[in-house]
Amino acid sequence: MNQKVDVVIIGAGAAGLMCAAEAGKRGRRVLVLDHAKKPGRKILISGGGKCNFTNYDVSANNYLCQNPHFVKSALSQYTNWDFISLVSKYGIEFEERDHGQLFCLESAKDIVKMMLSECESPNIQFRYQTDVHSIEKTEQGFSLHADTDTIECDSLVVATGGLSMPKLGATPFGYKIAEQFGLESCRRLRVWCRLRCTKKTKKTSLSSLVLQSQRKSPRMMARYSKKLCCLLTVGYLVHQYCRFLLSGSRDKTCR
């Protein structure tokens, strides 16, 4: 089958859903493709199932980016307050935790539902369990081979996310496409944080773990609870460690 749309978005995660909603509002005919069965699976596990959807205090300084002007420009067009008002419009109750972090009171499912409602438009179609085999540049835009179909589009958005959680559908697809089109991507870094356990620490007590770092002394304080599901909030420590890695030295381990 041959299909022609204005925009194809590959990936129905947080970025793909947001992009589909905005493109749909501008009257573009949008097709969202995902190889998973359902959208937004990473959102569902985010924030320990409650999704830390934004923060009261968001500025360009909170982001690591090789082009800081990009962050400034993005934040000037869509702020944390825009998202807070969207969440409020849907009547989703939320709470503020440490450092202005905002979490759903009920469940991260509310955020996925909200994003899908934002995408409810005759302009926007979703196709799940669909594999994109190849992408070619054409005169007008792009031509994709997905399963047995050929899809033509003017604009293509690759929103296939990062590499974490392959069990939830993460693949290096985006990196491969960047390579195919000769787009430079920055070096990917692993951030290792050593967890120190005492003899008393039982294996089961690590099943749900919240870590917080101290701003000046990077010692972690761990709190344990019983339920499964891992929430790792290393915040400032990770931030500092990334900066440390980016500054060139690589051999130290956080304690």
Ligand X SMILES: Cc1cc2nc3c(=O)[nH]c(=O)nc-3n(C[C@H](O)[C@H](O)[C@H](O)COP(=O)(O)OP(=O)(O)OC[C@H]3O[C@@H](n4cnc5c(N)ncnc54)[C@H](O)[C@@H]3O)c2cc1C
Residue 14 CB, shortest distance to ligand X, in Å, is 4
**Is the distance from CB of 74 to CB of 103 less than 8 angstroms?**
no
Q: What does the DSSP 8-state code read for residue 187? A: P
137 burial class (0-12, 13-18, 19+ CB within 10 angstroms)?
exposed
Stretch that binds ligand X, among 20-28, 33-41, 85-93, 117-125 (CB under 6 A): 33-41
Distance CA 201, CA 46 (A): 25
The two tokens of residue 122 are 């005759």
Among 45, 71, 86, 178, binds ligand X (CB under 6 A): 45
Among 9, 35, 94, 151, binds ligand X (CB under 6 A): 35
Q: Based on CB atoms, which residue is closest to ligand X, 27 or 189? A: 189
Identity of the amino acid at 2: N
Q: What angle do CA 79, 83, 84 make, to 5 degrees?
A: 110
Stretch that binds ligand X, among 40-48, 190-198, 207-215, 246-254 (CB under 6 A): 40-48
Stretch that binds ligand X, among 20-28, 111-119, 160-168, 200-208 (CB under 6 A): 160-168
Residue nearest to ligand X (CB): 13
The two tokens of residue 128 are 């799940």
Residue 232 CB, shortest distance to ligand X, in Å, is 7
Check binding of 112 to ligand X (CB under 6 A): no
Residue 10 CB, shortest distance to ligand X, in Å, is 5
4 burial class (0-12, 13-18, 19+ CB within 10 angstroms)?
middle
Contacts with ligand X by CB under 6 A lie at 10-16, 33-36, 41-43, 45-47, 51-52, 132, 159-161, 164-165, 169-171, 173
